Chains A and B, each alone.
Chain A
Amino acid sequence: AQKITQTQPGMFVQEKEAVTLDCTYDTSDPSYGLFWYKQPSSGEMIFLIYQGSYDQQNATEGRYSLNFQKARKSANLVISASQLGDSAMYFCAMRPTSGTYKYIFGTGTRLKVLA
């Protein structure tokens, strides 16, 4: 079955340190896309980063990078130099099959950045 697993319900990180949020996925499809979203307390979902299953290099967007390990079916989000504004809920999502828009979301990880 298609599934996204985020095993860390909550995490703390000290300001200016790096943090890794875990995401594993399960699909038998050769073509898929992986996304990370941030949801601050205000409720809006903000797109952070995308990785396609055929992309050769790990995606990076500013302080965000995606550690994509295809064989292990993991797509961990790395946030470098954490800031207080990074405190939020983070969701990993997968677009599992070519031609479908039925994205699958994980249960999320709540990150708290400490001053």
Chain B
Amino acid sequence: DVKVTQSSRYLVKRTGEKVFLECVQDMDHENMFWYRQDPGLGLRLIYFSYDVKMKEKGDIPEGYSVSREKKERFSLILESASTNQTSMYLCASIQGYNSPLHFGNGTRLTVT
């Protein structure tokens, strides 16, 4: 079974802090994703990566950046956390075009 692991289940950070959310997958998937989930808005794509060091903006990239130095690891960075970035963050990876997304358990981030 594919395992996607997010390093933190819950995080509390202060406004202005730099925040790193880490995600690791163990199935050699080329494509990895970061989503944000908010009530009533569903899942919205922040960034995705289709190869090492390659990335593409999703629908809501503002205030975020990403890093993919190794195939198995995809990091989401909040350069200067703000309260409106309080949310659930979900990492996912995918094997092929018609395959389902495999998700991590999510990181619930609170910015105070």
For A, the interface residue count at a CB cutoff of 8 angstroms equals: 24
Beyond A43-B106, A101-B31, is A107–B40 a contact (Cβ under 8 Å)? yes
Query: B94: which of A43, A101, A108 is its contact (CB, 8 Å)?
Result: A101
Alpha-carbon gap, A50 to B98, bound state (A): 8
Tell me whether B90 is interfacial, beta carbon within 8 Å: yes
Alpha-carbon gap, A35 to B35, bound state (A): 16
Tell me whether B74 is interfacial, beta carbon within 8 Å: no
- On chain A, the residues within 8 Å of B97 by CB distance are 95, 98-99, 101
Is chain B's interface secondary structure helix, strand, loop, or mixed overall? strand
- Which one of B11-19, B41-49, B60-68 is at the A interface? B41-49
**A58 CB, nearest partner CB in chain B, Å:** 16
- On chain A, the residues within 8 Å of B87 by CB distance are none
- On chain B, the residues within 8 Å of A37 by CB distance are 100-101, 103
Alpha-carbon gap, A102 to B40, bound state (A): 20
List residues of A (35-89) whose CB comes within 8 Å of B's CBs: 35, 37, 42-45, 47, 50, 52
**A7 CB, nearest partner CB in chain B, Å:** 13
- On chain B, the residues within 8 Å of A103 by CB distance are 45, 101
Are A105 and B98 in contact, with the CB atoms below 8 A? no
Tell me whether B50 is interfacial, beta carbon within 8 Å: yes
List residues of B (74-103) whose CB comes within 8 Å of A's CBs: 88, 90, 92, 94, 97-98, 100-103
- On chain A, the residues within 8 Å of B45 by CB distance are 102-103
- On chain B, the residues within 8 Å of A91 by CB distance are 42-43
- On chain B, the residues within 8 Å of A108 by CB distance are 42
* Residue of B35, B40, B90, B103 with most partner-chain A CB within 10 A: B103
* Interface positions of A (Cβ within 8 A of B): 4, 9, 33, 35, 37, 42-45, 47, 50, 52, 91, 93, 95, 98-99, 101-103, 105-108
Listed by A's residue number, 9 A-B pairs whose Cβ atoms lie within 8 Å are: A4-B42, A35-B100, A44-B106, A93-B43, A95-B97, A99-B97, A101-B31, A101-B48, A102-B58
Query: Knowing that A52-B98, A101-B94, A102-B45 are A-B contacts, what are 7 other residue pairs whose CB atoms are under 8 Å apart, sorted by A's residue number?
Result: A4-B42, A37-B103, A45-B92, A93-B101, A99-B97, A103-B101, A105-B35
